[in-house]
A and B are shown apart, each in its own frame.
Chain A
Amino acid sequence: AQSVTQPDIHITVSEGASLELRCNYSYGATPYLFWYVQSPGQGLQLLLKYFSGDTLVQGIKGFEAEFKRSQSSFNLRKPSVHWSDAAEYFCAVGAGNTGGFKTIFGAGTRLFVKA
């Protein structure tokens, strides 16, 4: 079974600074990897996903993530953070075949942005 770990419960960055949120997964093969964002009182919105191909994937809102097989990581990055990026970010791992495909979510990292 797959699992996912987000080591940082919360992170604070200054507006305009760069951001990296960490995600480590455990799975025997290459899983489907996702990053979602959740603003207060809202559901989760998909930022980006990876399964194969280029290990650097681009998402919405200027986010990107890099898959590193050797480190079992899929870290989320943004070069310049905006105040509106303050939210909770969830890394997720999906695996299984069509009928039994299951997605497991990490515990989340809350991002605070200071002026």
Chain B
Amino acid sequence: EAGVAQSPRYKIIEKRQSVAFWCNPISGHATLYWYQQILGQGPKLLIQFQNNGVVDDSQLPKDRFSAERLKGVDSTLKIQPAKLEDSAVYLCASSSPKGKKDGYTFGSGTRLTVV
């Protein structure tokens, strides 16, 4: 089974620029998550989708971050405008509705550096 695909792997941008990340989950996985992992910290949930609906976005800084999951498959996470403190690894994960209690499958992440 193919894993969770993410792109790009690395991105360097200047502050106040915009950036977008893409995620393709495992086929058939209805639940998709975006996590932010700041250096030296554990992953922090930004947003959770169930199919194309948002289940939890309580930790998403909505003034600058947005995410969508059209057609309930691929997802994009956007930051506009970026701040220095947004430098982090952005991880996408997916799980089946019954499988979320079995753990998640993570992609390799996108490392964002804001200068």
Contacts and interface: CB of A to CB of B under 8 A. Distances in A.
B102 interface: yes
Nearest to B6: A43
Interface of A: 32, 34, 36, 41-46, 49, 51, 90, 92, 94, 98-108
A90 B108 contact: no
Contacts of B61: none
B99 to A, nearest CB: 11
A42 B108 contact: yes
Interface string B29-52: 000000100001111110010100
Contacts of B26: none
B103 A105 contact: no
Given A100-B55, A105-B42, A107-B40, A46 B101 contact: no
B91 interface: yes
Measured as residues with beta carbon below 8 angstroms from the partner, the interface class of chain B is 20 to 34
A102 B100 CA distance: 9
Nearest to A9: B40
Closest 10 CB pairs of A and B: A43-B106, A105-B42, A46-B103, A44-B106, A43-B108, A107-B42, A105-B43, A101-B100, A43-B107, A106-B42
Contact of B43 (A44, A45, A49, A100): A44
Contacts of A101: 100-101
Contacts of A43: 4, 91, 93, 106-109
B100 A49 contact: no
B102 to A, nearest CB: 6
B55 A99 contact: yes
B11 to A, nearest CB: 14
B97 A108 contact: no
Nearest to A108: B42
Nearest to B101: A32
B50 to A, nearest CB: 7
B113 to A, nearest CB: 14
A101 B106 CA distance: 17
